[in-house]
Structure 1
């Protein structure tokens, strides 16, 4: 999973160096404007499936991970307006956690290029109290990125289990724009429902108890959202 996709200057948060930092929540999501997808947590499949398709990709080591497709363009998406305001019904956690992220050694980091994290002369919320203790704002931020990491682990476990059962199959997305220009999105995978239904009973039971079956079917349900993205792009199959 490309953990630092949007982060220009990842910096470890330090209570001494950054004691005067104030945080203004992100309202301009323009930093996402050049991507057509972002990684997704499995627990988000349900919410995302209502409006956006959930697919799978592979990292450099061949491991599968889920993505949410924001657009059928090769680059960019239509989920924001000109001011950067998010227009979609659901904003993926991968985007919502910006400008914060949990490093591999469990340190809270932030993007030092984010303009809403600075000594803002009274604007925004302090991250540290005068005695160096976490403020409620920072406590909630840490809770969010920590939960994100925990769900990321569960998502990887789900994808590993699905890979071991060989239920993924390639999915090539091809559309033709209104001006007759072909678009092709490669490197995508979906779960093969026939293979899913052929799983051994003990696997089905284990997947049901772990929530994997529900996630698999939420993914399959989400594929109906491809038509909505096609309409936004003004394309035809």
Structure 2
């Protein structure tokens, strides 16, 4: 199960980053995207709090471990397993695709350490952007095309949402609501349950004990429905497990290890 936040050196999916420039990329086009091959082997994707309500209908929402935890949409219970897309990255059935996935291969990035200015960049290792004959032009007469302006707006909205998510996580940590998570799943044809750890979740006990100013503040700033969405979504972990069995992904049932006691059983 997910255990670490995305790497600080290069975000997941991205092989490299290059600022989009009319001088260097004036003839570049964006190919139509109907699949996300980079998602096929990713089992957990960062999401923002603005996506909690939509995401919790399909995915368990968990939090990564480490000093700076982030919310994650859990798409599989093992590294390299994603039960919501096929091997080509085509969604299986109706599902919600996180904004983090939809913005790829673009993102806003700080090019210089001495400034807070963000520039629109893209992953040059992606096959979605290039000097292709087909696709949507990124520049028109040396200026950003309508498509590029839409991409920029989407990335700007994502960054604002990410800032709100950071504030949410700061509040959660200050209230000491996070705890180590654990879930035990008993398969029908196995006498030993699978035990999943390596993630964090909101402690229902600590959440119920909130009183006074802390609870009023959470009600006013919109944290209460977000935490509720997270807690409800944890029930979907068993559905993800069932999808893995159905799709024959993940470890064999006979490899299950005996249950071990731990904190925060989902």
TM-score after normalising by structure 1: 0.90
Please name the residue that 1:73 is paired with: 78
Residue in 2 that maps onto 1:196: 207
Q: Equivalent residue for 1:44?
A: 51
Unpaired segments ≥5 residues, structure 2: 111-116, 246-252, 260-266
Q: Note closer, same or farther for the CA distance 1:185–1:74 as it changes in structure 2 (3 Å cut).
A: farther
Residue 215 of structure 1 corresponds to which residue in structure 2? 226
Whole-Å separation in 1 of the counterparts to 2:220 and 2:96: 26
**Which sections of structure 1, spanning at least 5 residues, go unmatched?**
none
Of residues 127, 147, 158 in structure 2, which corresponds to 1:115? 127
- The structural deviation recorded for 1:184 is 4.6
Q: What does the per-residue CA deviation read over 1:166-189, in whole Å, with 9 as the maximum and x for residues that have no partner?
A: 111110234466786975543211
Query: What is the total number of aligned residue pairs between the two structures?
Result: 233
1:160 counterpart SS class: helix
Query: What is the TM-score of this pair, normalised by structure 2?
Result: 0.80
Q: Go from structure 1 to structure 2 and tell me whether the alpha carbon gap of 1:220 and 1:48 turns closer, same or farther (over 3 Å shift).
A: same
Deviations 1:114-140 (A, max 9, x none): 11211112x11111111x222110111
How far off its partner does 1:84 sit? 2.3
TM-aligned CA distance change 1:115 to 1:178, over 3 Å = farther
Contact 1:73/1:183 (<8 A) preserved:
no
Matches within 5 A, 1:22-171: 22-59=29-66, 62-87=67-92, 88-104=94-110, 105-121=117-133, 123-130=134-141, 132-171=142-181
1:56–1:66: 8 Å Cα contact kept in structure 2? yes
Contact in 2 for aligned 1:64/1:160 (Cα 8 Å): no
Q: 2:197 aligns with which of 165, 175, 186?
A: 186
Q: Go from structure 1 to structure 2 and tell me whether the alpha carbon gap of 1:82 and 1:65 turns closer, same or farther (over 3 Å shift).
A: closer
Quote the Cα distance in structure 1 between the aligned partners of 2:35 and 2:54: 22
